[in-house]
Chain A
Amino acid sequence: MVKKWFGQGCGFGRKNHNGRCGLKACSGVPLSAKRTCGRTKVCSITGDRKHCARLAAMGLYPGNEIELVSAPDGENCLVRVHGGTISIDRDTLDHIVVTD
């Protein structure tokens, strides 16, 4: 079910998680796999184009720095970005690739 929603592929990044993103090349892991808090950088975001655009408006777009308030560890998590705290569900986390 979830796959279908994200399946359309908005093209923010390559599916193999190792492509170029933002304006520089970077390799990384899905945010959902992160085990630690702290700063990291968004490499790419995949999924429904509208959803990606909403995330971008909230400050989550490739090339931007974010700070994990809680470690996702397979669940939803809190992220600080541009001075605000955003909660992100786990399906979206799967589609955000960040630097390792």
Chain B
Amino acid sequence: MTNPIQSYTFALAGNPNAGKTTLFNHLTGARQHVGNYPGITVDRKEGYLNDNGRKITIVDLPGTYSLTAYSAEELVARDFLVNEKPEVVINIVDASNLERNLYLTTQFLELGVPLVIALNMVDVAKTRGITVQAEKLEEILGVPVVPIVARSGLGTRALLDAACRIAAEGNAWQPLDISYGDDLDATILRLVEVITTSRFLTARYPARFTAIKYLENDEQILDRGRDESPAIAAELEADVARVSQHLQKTLNVFPEAIIADHRYGYLKAVLRDGVITHAFDVDRLYTSDKIDKVVTNRLLGPLIMIGILLGLYQFTFSWSEIPVVWMESFFGWLGATVENLLAEGPLRSLLVSGIIDGVGGVLGFVPLILFMFFGIAVLEDSGYLARVAYMMDRVFRSFGLHGSSVMPFIVSGGIAGGCAVPGVMATRTLRSPKERMATLLTVPFMNCGAKLPVLALLIGAFFADHRALMMFLFTMLAWLVALCAAKFLRLTVLRGESTPFVMELPPYRFPTLRGLLIHTWERTWQYIKKAGTVILAISILLWAMMTYPGLPDAEQQNYTEQRQQVMAAYPETMDEQGGVEAKHQVDAVDERAALLAAIDREESAAALRHSAAGRIGLALESLSRLAGFDWRTNIALIGGFAAKEVIVSTLGTAYSMGDVDAEESASLSKRLQRSDDWNRVVAVAALVFIMFYAPCFVTVACIAKESSWRWAAFSMTFNTIFAFGLAVLVYQVGTILGLG
């Protein structure tokens, strides 16, 4: 006899920041984003695992504080539970903060879902002197309670076993009854009777659960009820309205406050029974709160924040300097090798100028990106970013944004080196549509990882002595512009009230090296992957645009003739004679080589001018000169519409092909320093333009997906016009002041 293959679905639910995704990753081997910040997961994620022949689907749900439909995350979580009816709900609770976390548990119990409690972070609880008697809690609540450390995987075996056992039992849902005081209990009984006799919504929710949600004024359930049976819904609503009014008159509260009070009261009673013991005084402030007193201090806080940013940039630039040079020389060597191995022709040009220069130019900055991401991972995992959100809320509010906008800004590169695509997605945590749109449209102004190479290049070339400071100033500029743009949007097209911002601050945690490395590597890998796919394709396209159409035959003939003339004037043969003769001949050979190289360069410059990209660049030059950009820069900026990464490599190609006076091959930064078309003012104008013009294609597509194509188009045109205006202003003022 063979066993049929068992397959179960387990849902991971719990408060924000309780460690659901950490456990999910541990169980399924997935690499979903984990961070010490509440509300990282905004959508449900599925993963699979094979456990002793059982096929288990694990679903990671967004964190919630309750099961009432107050926000999108709560709806996602509750809808999954009642619609998909997973075999087991694994409720992850933070053992170091049990009371708050079990609040949600009471609602799972009321819903009656088959529950297993994963008592997470017992390591943190221990350092705080908190011991939780799991067996005792299990006995009182009547569901398995398994202590685990999701970070290290401790106890997850026992957790899976407990969940499988519950799943195998396959018991029907058994709701728990909690008393809500005489007034409400009587009402609930009345409502339950009506609900059970008419089988009202009972296919989805237990009767008592529906009754409580009616009292809590849960909009989704009220709507569902009206759809199912308007008459019964009206009857229930009338009853609830009567009770609500009575409560307001006598106690001046709505039912949900009383319900919350009783749930917390129920938990207090549960925990008092020797479930939890504190080694230290319960009232003492934890280390986290003590640190917060300093770090979020009104005066010290912002200073510390600035200090941390400057330190991060200093660290990134100084540590990445040497590896970046290594990468540069590696790609230089690779290009030279390919050039020597292959005969001249379109293939060699494609490989060297298109692929190696294009992709290599992006990959060359991997060390810089790596160090920046490492620093940001430290800030995120330690819990400091949540404090930044808290401090920035005041500032953001005055610009019409919201405390929840801070995280999308930082994800997009608020500290430098993020990506606007996940930033745009992260705006889902904003509840107010107008604040969300204002955030979504301004996050692309941040200095994402793709803009970092341009910043590093131009700052390195023109402000070599103050790199960290300049990086800091450009970051501040990005924020200033983004905030002003947001204010402008909120005063015009997105007018509306501001909404409250209440957030639970995660405790400070020591980041684990493993966690940091995973974070850093994940994001760096994204960058590398993009270089190998999107950037590769765009580089090839740009190469083609910069190569074709080629020079007409007549002109090519012209250059060939010039070359022949030089060769005729300096014959190649050398006599084996010493003395003055020989010296003279060596000079002649040098001169010949120099003349030939000059002709080559002139030809490639002419070819670039003749190519499709060159023509566009030249055509735009009359306009772009207002901001100080020459035609070669224009080519790079056009490439940047597709992806900002290609700006540096395109600039490199355009300057190596189009540079007529270059003595010998030199790095791009040297070339720009020497070029007549560049100086400090042009560099700043170019940076300003690059930072603020149209978002890259992928971001535009993402904006369209998250809002509409009209907003995406708006973002492209608005940003480009605005950025150009600003660049012109910088260039003109800078030139008048003679700063170049």
Contacts and interface: CB of A to CB of B under 8 A. Distances in A.
Interface of A: 1-2, 4-5, 10-14, 19-23, 44-45, 47-59, 61-64, 67, 69-70, 75-76, 78, 80, 82-92
A6 B256 CA distance: 17
Given A19-B252, A76-B393, A89-B500, A52 B257 contact: yes
Interface-centre pick from B71, B260, B264 (highest chain A CB count, 10 A): B260
Contact of A61 (B217, B261, B292): B261
Interface residues of B, number: 49
A85 B253 contact: no
A92 B259 CA distance: 21
A48 B256 CA distance: 13
B496 interface: yes
B308 to A, nearest CB: 19
B260 A86 contact: no
Contact of A56 (B256, B499, B505): B256
A14 B257 contact: no
B5 interface: no
Contact of B503 (A21, A45, A87): A87
A53 B244 CA distance: 14
A69 B497 contact: no
A57 B103 contact: yes
A52 B390 contact: no
Nearest to B507: A85
Contacts of B498: 1-2, 5, 91
Interface-centre pick from A62, A64, A78, A87 (highest chain B CB count, 10 A): A87
A84 B100 contact: yes
Contact of B505 (A53, A64, A85, A92): A85
Given A57-B66, A83-B99, A92-B500, A11 B505 contact: no
Given A1-B498, A20-B252, A87-B502, 13 more contacts: A2-B498, A13-B252, A21-B251, A54-B71, A57-B260, A59-B103, A62-B257, A63-B261, A82-B103, A84-B504, A85-B504, A85-B505, A91-B500
Interface in B493-539: 496-505, 507
B100 A59 contact: yes
A87 B505 contact: yes
A90 B298 CA distance: 14
A10 B390 CA distance: 26
B296 interface: yes
A53 B252 contact: no
Given A12-B252, A20-B251, A23-B251, A85 B499 contact: no
B292 A70 contact: yes
A11 B253 contact: yes
A92 B66 contact: no
Contacts of A84: 97, 100, 504-505
A58 B502 contact: yes
A38 B256 CA distance: 27
B601 interface: no
Q: Which 7 A-B pairs have the closest CB atoms?
A: A56-B260, A57-B66, A1-B497, A57-B65, A61-B257, A89-B501, A87-B390
Nearest to B499: A5
B708 interface: no
B393 A89 contact: yes
Nearest to B497: A1
A53 B65 CA distance: 11
Contact of B264 (A53, A59, A89, A92): A59
